[in-house]
Structure 1
Amino acid sequence: MTTVEPFHRGGSGPPMLLLHGMTSSWRAWKPVLPMLEQHHEVWAVTMPGHVGGPPLPDEAFSIDVMVDALVERLDEIGVPRDAHVVGNSLGGWAALELARRGRARSVVALSPAGAWAMPSDLYRLLATFRVGALLAGWAPIRLLASFRPLRRILLRSVSEHADRYSPEDVDILFDDLAGCTALDPLLSAASMDTSIAPFDHAPCPIRIAWSGADKTIPYGRYGRPMMDAVPGAELVVLPGVGHVPMVDNPALVAWTILQQTRDEIAS
């Protein structure tokens, strides 16, 4: 496994922070960085407990513990407190928690994790991640995923068009998973009462963009309780993309993000 830088910084303009999903790293954002950096100074940061990121504290896991460690890292590297924040999956949940703490000028949450209405929905989610991690740790899966015709089948829980991953992208995906130490603590701590705490009101402009072909946390099960938890958030559905949509359709993802900040970058 190669050494992974803990964050990426590039571009110019109003500051923007990008937060990836569970088992990934800042590198998940590489397909959209060129488009976003035309308009923003972009910080893509690896979350605590993920490869290249800071370690998780030695205490019982919770989203607050993870966000505490994330905030400490953001302060260390100088990410402005009023950055626009964009997150996918777990990163979307973390983005919402940063907004709750007054550390976001706006939020775009792409298929954000953290909401479930029924025990069966939580158990399904936990099983999906446990089985996925087990299979990903099986050496032949990585070899099979190196063959383009098989990627779309093997990585369907990640992206709708996983065949668009390059061989380098596949290596990054599996290396990030192998280096993630946050998955087991998160899954072990998850219960019905650890879902996202409801907001009284949206603390800043919030756009929730759900992947229309999300097979990991489909909107029908997980989107409605998320929208109920974040009153006043705008909902958009991104057609033809999976849970991690940046490879599926980089232009659509970048456009969805930039629509949230268009008034500022136009001024």
Structure 2
Amino acid sequence: MDTVEVAGLRIAYQRAGSGPPLVLLHGAYEDSRVWERQLQDLSDEFTVVAWDTPGCGGSDDLAEGAGSLGEILAGFLRELGLADGVRKPHVLGLSFGSGVALDLWKTHPEVPATLILASAYAGWAGSLPPEEADRRYRQASAELDKSPSEIIPAWLPTLLSEQATEEMKSRVARLFEDFRPTGMRALLAASGRVDYRPVLPTITVPTLLLYGALDVRSPRAVADELHRQIPGSELFFLPDVGHLSFVEAPEAFDAEVRRWVRAHG
């Protein structure tokens, strides 16, 4: 694990391979370890970089005045030499990480070559009915006062399909066990009520929307609306998998990412 300082924050990350840069942004309660398979499989062709979002893994907690996550990500990519005005990364955001990718576009549209939004929302407030967005925010706030063992059983059925193996469930549970309540609380305060709908029609880079067909957290209606709002976007559903499609179907997920980056490299 390497680190770099951005906006006064220590940001931890993993890096592997060489070639066109592909940046991986994990979801909530996770860190870069969730991308272990992609760091291994896709680094044969690409420079794969997976960061720990501020507040997660080995990164410092998000501090007041550090800037939005999109601004911090832009600084991170520049520090690593992956966004210098000539070289531009392909940015893949998963779930909560898709909001980070959208914030990057909002604040620094010159940075990404393409966007890959997996299991994505335009923020809860931008993709869900108001009562459901509010319920999720209140639920997440309350969970931060509980131990991981109390919240994992409620989360797993919404992240993985019924076909997921015990090994897959154990892998996700182990990652959730390590989340930091203080870090997640800061992230929730900064982005839990953000609405990215105004950003969607402004996106001009090629955008792939990648969803699990059995996703109950960001269901088909959410995917269809993002597809409708983002000009020229491509929508692809991975069959028989849930929200964490890259855990349940890593070969198919990686194949779609590889196809996309090749096509737009």
The answer to whether TM tops 0.5 is yes
Task: Name the CA distance, whole Å, in 1 between partners of 2:83 and 2:240.
Answer: 34
CA contact (8 A) 1:56 1:69 kept: no
1:170 aligns with 2:194: no
CA distance in 2, matches of 1:19, 1:112: 12
1:154 and 1:73, CA in 2 relative to 1: closer, same or farther beyond 3 A? Answer: closer
Residue in structure 1 matched with residue 71 of structure 2 by the alignment:
68
- Kindly tell me: are residues 124 and 77 of structure 1, through their superposed partners in 2, closer, same or farther at Cα, counting changes over 3 Å? same
Matches for 1:1-267 after TM superposition, within 5 Å: 6-59=12-65, 65-81=68-84, 82-100=88-106, 101-113=109-121, 114=123, 115-116=126-127, 118-127=129-138, 129-130=140-141, 133=143, 137-138=146-147, 140-141=149-150, 155-160=156-161, 161=164, 163-165=166-168, 167=170, 169-176=172-179, 178=181, 180-186=184-190, 190=193, 194-220=195-221, 222-263=222-263
- Give the secondary-structure state (helix, strand or coil) at the position aligned to 2:127: coil
CA distance in structure 1 between the aligned counterparts of 2:30 and 2:50, rounded to whole angstroms: 12
Match of 1:148 in 2: none
In structure 2, do the counterparts of structure 1 residues 237 and 130 end up closer, same or farther at CA, with 3 Å as the change threshold?
farther
Aligned length: 246
Confirm or deny: 8 A CA contact 2:116 2:207 kept in the other structure: yes
CA contact (8 A) 1:7 1:43 kept: yes
Return the alpha-carbon distance in structure 2 between the equivalents of residues 169 and 217 of structure 1. Answer: 18
Asked whether the equivalents of residues 102 and 199 of structure 2 are also in contact (C-alpha less than 8 Å), the reply is no
Which amino acid is 2:12 matched to? P
Task: Identify the range of structure 1 (35-44 vs 153-162) with the bigger mean alpha-carbon deviation.
Answer: 153-162
Q: Distance in 1 between matches of 2:96 and 2:212?
A: 14
Q: Aligned Cα RMSD in Å? A: 3.1
2: CA distance, partners of 1:17 / 1:252: 18
Gaps of 5+ in 2: 1-9
Pairwise CA distance, 1:233: 0.8
Structure 2 CA distance, aligned partners of 1:257 and 1:139? 31
Distance in 2 separating the partners of 1:256 and 1:128: 33
Distance 1:25 1:202, change over 3 A: same
Query: Which amino acid in the other structure matches residue 115 of structure 2?
Result: V
Conservation of the 8 A alpha-carbon contact between 1:92 and 1:109: yes
Q: Distance in 2 between matches of 1:190 and 1:5?
A: 24
Q: CA deviation at 1:140?
A: 4.5
Q: TM-score, normalised by structure 2?
A: 0.78
Offset at 1:5?
8.1
Identical positions, percent: 23
Q: Which runs of 5+ in 1 are unaligned?
A: 146-150
1:7, 1:44 within 8 Å by CA — same for their partners in 2?
Answer: yes
Q: Which structure exhibits the higher relative contact order, with contacts defined as CA atoms closer than 8 Å and separated by 6 or more residues? A: 1
Is the alpha carbon distance of 1:212 and 1:99 closer, same or farther for their aligned partners in structure 2, counting shifts above 3 Å? same
SS at 1:37's partner residue? helix
For residues 25 and 138 of structure 2, the distance between their equivalents in structure 1, rounded to whole angstroms, comes to: 24
Report how far residue 86 of structure 1 moved: 0.9
Superposed displacement of residue 123, structure 1 = 2.5
Aligned counterparts of 2:11 and 2:196: Cα–Cα separation in 1: 31
SS in 1 for 2:245: coil
Q: What is the CA deviation profile of residues 176-234 of structure 1, one whole-angstrom value per residue up to 9, with x for unaligned ones?
A: 354534343146x516xx333234453211110122111222222x2233223312211
